[in-house]
Structure 1
Amino acid sequence: MRRLALLAGLALLTGCVSMEWRGSMVPHLEINGDDGREPKPVALNRGALRPTEPGWPQFRGPARDGVTPAQGVEPDWSSAPRARWRVPVGEGHSSVILSGQSVFTMEQDGEEELVTARSLDDGEILWNYGVRTRWGDFMSGVGPRSTPTLHAGRLYALFTDGSLVCLEADSGKLLWKTKIIQEGYEFPEWGLSCSPLVWKGLVIVTPGGEKGAARAYHSGSGKPAWVSDFHGEGVYLSPCILNLLGRDQLVTAVSGRIAFLEPLSGKTNWEAPWKIFLNNAQIAQPLALPGNSFLLSAGYGKGSEGLAVSAGKEEPYLVKTAWRSKNLKSKFSSPVLKDGFVYGFNENSLTCLDASDGELKWRGRKYGYGRVLLAGDKLVILGNTGILSVVEANPEKFMETYSGQLLSDDRCWNGPALAGGYLVARNGLEIACFDWAQKQ
């Protein structure tokens, strides 16, 4: 064992291999050199494009909850989707968004981070917009972490240096640009990761920081609208709106704390401790549950809590823990809700819980630290090694209907987009479009 460790260390020092972390604390070793891993553009026989509305316009889909709308076609969930095209892409963990006949993501190109628009038809680049910046760290690698947001013909994107831009979606023309961080800002350990939220004329971002953890800008001009009093070290949560007791609440977090903010003003309505073993870094998104409740979940041994919200006598909101579970520890992937049941990853294993009391319904297979989407009564899972799987969203039993390699075996923490029967997925090497309405 000591000899093996010594050889591995020598290989790293001499550049023979590289080390990549895929979600567990165990590194994945790769042999360097000309190994044919650089993907070659592939275009197959393609038919005319179908409509994709309402598309997949932002991080985790139309409602930011991992649920895809009706597809307009009937996918064959028991077989592999047919590849339409496959092209190279730059590094980064940005997810994919899809609208009309365009696909958008962010990627690294040398010393620039790019917002890139590609054709849904063939993967050709339509335009890109770059900011000269580069984030890289040992654990999570190189490239942008945030996912752009499309709203009313405009694309809003956040770069790892804190640049927030508004672009024309059709052309990539810059409409405005601002910086969301100030001098002295302490970056999260693995980079600035929040994806912009567009809500009622505002663009909301949650970088964290001692001078205001959440910030809003007017979507038309980029001028500041508000800065929150809520502050603290930034984490990896993207801003989201949950409706609780009939009011919209902006749910956000900093290291060790969770909060509701008034989304029009940034005023703090409620905050409480939310401690996570090891790093206090919240990654998984909050999930709305039935009956003025919501779910928080985290990895690193933390688990999940179902939280019930009621009106307090002295405080406007009274939030109590309804249940706790160690059977859903969502490290990277945010869970989804279907008919009162929660589906998500317990570290890297798929599980189903009853949303009312946290009771474990079943444990499924290990899929790695990937992403899960809900499409009708199916769970669409893209594992962190590029394997696509489909599982029935059925609380009675675990049943997988399909599993197969979709992308190259490179670290995949990027969320796919699913609309109109088209699945667009990427990792740090390639981006590809698949048609689930056509059999292989």
Structure 2
Amino acid sequence: MSDYSKNDESEQSLSQTGDAAQTEPEADTPVESPERPVRRLRWKWGLAVLVIGIAAMIIQWFRLAPDRTYQVFSVYMGIRNLVVGLLVWWMLISGVAWKTRFKGLLAAVLSFALFFAVVRVDGFEGDMVPRFQFRFLPTSEQRAVEYFENVKTADKPGLFKQPESEVNTPSASGDSAAGPQDWPGYRGAQRDGIAHDQQIRVDWETEPPKLLWKHPVGAGWGSFCVVGDRAFTQEQRGAEEVVVCYDAQTGKQLWVYADPVRFSETLGGDGPRATPTYRDGFLYTLGGTGILHSFEVFSGMEVWTRDLLKEEGLENLTWGMAGSPLIKDNLLIVNPGVRPSGSEKKNPSVLAIDLRTRKTAWVSGTRKSSYSSPQYAVLNGTPQVLIFHAKGLEGFALEDGRSLWFFPWTNQAGCNAAQPIPLDDSSVFLGAGYGQGSARIRITPSEEADQPADVKPEWKSLSLKLKFNCAVQQDGYVYGLDEGVLTCLDLETGKRQWKRGRYGYGQLLLVDQYLLILAEDGRVELVEANPEKYVQRGGFQAIEGQTWNHPALARGRLFVRNSEEAACYDLSPLTK
């Protein structure tokens, strides 16, 4: 190779090296990377979902007023829709990184799970607002079971008795018939919520009610039946539904009869709903699952039993068998469950059992049952049984059960639970909740014997919406809790006189010229039955916990209970 060729190759190499040096950046010069799009939270969309959701709930709340149940349900639906809207925004529209989206979703799920790991839903208020309780605290039913485990004596499974000498103590009335100051069943002797022939002291500031006894009880929404020195009620104690006899003066348990059944329902709560019925030394009870019993009251010995749902092939109602047995003449009358869907047979609206033969005397009606109890009335000279169905009020002849008339009165829930009130020989007051209201109806017999009577409303009112709270009437006026607020209506016109005092979904009774109101929170208040104005005369905290049960008044003693505890207070006039 020549020298010239070597020089050319050397120059070419140097030229390439120089070019490379000119194109490569210096070591200290930063290298620019391609720009990534910046993710920004589209918070305005989320805020819009939040504002629209809350506004919709507020509008629905005022639109559905004053019906608290529908208002609460609208809030549930609104919260559900709001959560779905926020979830869609967060996962699809928020604009943040997918990793962040899934982290946020996981955090929300874990927070929800943690909340319910710490607390439990311990029932619902009358307007369906949930009540929460810490999980580490015992339930009211557990406290009751523990209490009775410590006080009972057992001589055979499910039946706990005191010594025979104590059990066979005669009643204070002196015989087996209920006296005029006894409380022999649901809402008293006539089921009108009126303590006839009784008086109480009303100056509670200087002469306050005296506590005679208080202790835990099993779950259930029934009331007390009180005759002489004995008080009867029904409770749920664990896996057993029990009928209990207490000493009315001391609260001491005298006997218990247990059935291995349990009625449970999320919104309505657990346990039996009905109140025992007393008649001539015997007690009759209907459990939440439809078991009908007859007992000898002194010993607690079962006389006979019938499983109404099982023997008739019926299904239970959503909130259980709630109608307390009615006894008139020799008939025991109940309103049982419903036929299964698709059944070719018709619904038995009312069932009468002959107490002498213990066999079915008659079955009548076709309409679906509800939660009111059978009511006796004499209208247009005809003894009859009033049954408040899911669809309305119907009258049945006492002797043979034939349908005499029907008046449609219902609501979206198909729930009629308040007791109808016979007013005179041809008119009845009735009320229902869920926005329905109340009415006074007039029953006029048909000129043709085989035709049903003509029934027309004398007036209708949106006031006094009785959800499952019964009313009382006196001197041409009716008093009741209209969505938790005490209300007075004129029975002649249906016009509201006044509306005052918030008691929740409690119950009341009438004694003399006063209303004894057992509020939903366990308070007892004394209010004048005064059509001119609301006058509250006194009050005290009787028991703790949610209270839907009716109070009972016998011989000046007020008996109150709920699904947590029971108590008795002496209200009798003091003798000087």
Superposition deviation, residue 416 in structure 1: 1.5
2: distance between equivalents of 1:382 and 1:74? 17
Q: What letter matches 1:309 in structure 2? A: I
What does 1:24-423 align with in structure 2 at a 5 Å threshold?
24-34=127-137, 38=143, 53-71=180-198, 74=201, 76=203, 80-181=208-309, 182=311, 184-209=313-338, 210-228=346-364, 230-276=365-411, 278-290=412-424, 292-314=426-448, 315-408=451-544, 410-423=545-558
Give the deviation of 1:149 after TM superposition.
0.2
State how far apart, in whole Å, the 2-side matches of 1:196 and 1:183 are: 17
Contact 1:56/1:98, CA 8 A, preserved across alignment: yes
Q: Is the 8 A contact 1:93 1:413 kept in 2?
A: yes
* Deviation at residue 213 of structure 1 after TM alignment: 1.4
Judging changes above 3 Å, is the alpha-carbon distance between structure 1 residues 350 and 272 closer, same or farther for their aligned structure 2 residues? same
Residues 199 and 511 in structure 2, CA contact (< 8 A), matched pair in contact too? no
8 Å CA contact 1:12, 1:18 repeated in 2: no
Distance 1:376 1:325 in 2: 27
Q: Point out the structure with max Rg over C-alpha.
A: 2
Residue type of the partner of 1:88?
P
In structure 2, how many angstroms separate the alpha carbons of the residues matched to 1:288 and 1:344? 15
CA distance in 1, matches of 2:299, 2:501: 43
CA distance in 1, matches of 2:112, 2:209: 41
Q: Is the 8 A contact 1:388 1:403 kept in 2?
A: yes
CA–CA distance in 1 between the matches of 2:172 and 2:400?
41
- Give a deviation string over 1:154-190, Cα, whole Å, max 9, x none: 0000112221111001111111111222454121111
Gaps of 5+ in 2: 1-78, 87-107, 149-170, 174-178, 339-345
Residue identity opposite 1:329 in structure 2: K
**Secondary structure in structure 1 of the residue aligned to 2:295:** strand
Which amino acid in the other structure matches residue 570 of structure 2? D
Deviates more, 1:242-251 or 1:102-111: 242-251
- Give the CA deviation at 1:223: 1.4
CA-CA distance at 1:24 after TM superposition? 0.6
Q: If the length of structure 2 is used for normalisation, what is the TM-score?
A: 0.70
More strand by share: 1
Rounded to whole Å, the distance in 1 between the matches of 2:519 and 2:238 is: 27
C-alpha contact (below 8 Å) 2:117/2:135 kept by paired residues: no
Q: Give the conservation status (yes or no) of the 8 Å contact 2:526–2:537.
A: yes
- Determine which structure has the larger helix proportion and give its number: 2
Task: Indicate the SS of the match to 2:572.
Answer: coil
Q: Which moved more, 1:53-62 or 1:368-377?
A: 53-62
Q: How far is 1:9 from its partner?
A: 4.4
> 1:262, CA displacement in angstroms?
0.7
**Contact 2:323/2:373 (<8 A) preserved:** yes
**Secondary structure of 2:121's aligned partner:** strand
Taking structure 1 as the reference length, the TM-score comes to 0.91
Q: What secondary structure does 1:14 align onto?
A: helix
**Displacement of 1:16:** 2.1
* Structure-2 separation of matches of 1:137 and 1:35: 19
Q: Could you list the per-position Cα deviations for residues 99-158 of structure 1 after superposition, in whole angstroms to 9, with x for gaps in the alignment?
A: 100010000111111110000121111111111110001101110111110011100001
210-219 or 167-176, which moves further after superposition? 210-219
The answer to whether the 8 A contact 1:90-1:428 is kept is: yes
Q: How many angstroms apart in 2 are the aligned matches of 1:171 and 1:11?
A: 50
Retained in 2: the 8 A contact 1:91–1:428? Answer: yes
Q: Deviations over 1:175-223 (max 9, x none)?
A: 1111222454121111111100011011100114334111011123421
Letter in 1 for 2:191: R
Kept in 2: contact 1:329–1:345 (CA 8 A): yes
The CA RMSD measured in Å over matched residues stands at 2.4
Q: Is the 8 A contact 2:180 2:197 kept in 1?
A: no
SS at match of 1:10: helix
**In the TM superposition, what whole-angstrom CA distance separates every residue of 1:355-407 from its partner, at most 9, and x where no partner exists?**
11101111111101011100010000001110101110010111010122110
Query: Does the CA-based 8 Å contact 1:82-1:438 persist in structure 2?
Result: no
* Aligned equivalents of 1:231, 1:377: Cα separation in 2: 40
2:126 corresponds to: 23
Assess, with a 3 A threshold, how the Cα gap between structure 1 residues 251 and 11 changes in structure 2: closer, same or farther: farther
> Deviations along 1:223-279, whole A, 9 cap, x unmatched?
111111x12322101101122112222111332132110112111111232221x21
CA distance in 1 between counterparts of 2:139 and 2:265 reads 25
Q: 1:96, 1:304 → 2: CA distance? A: 27
CA 1:293 to 1:422, structure 2 compared with 1: closer, same or farther past 3 Å? same
Question: Aligned partners of 1:239, 1:11: CA distance in 2, in Å?
Answer: 47
Contact 1:67 1:373 in 2 (8 A): yes
Q: Identify the residue that residue 28 of structure 2 maps to in structure 1.
A: none
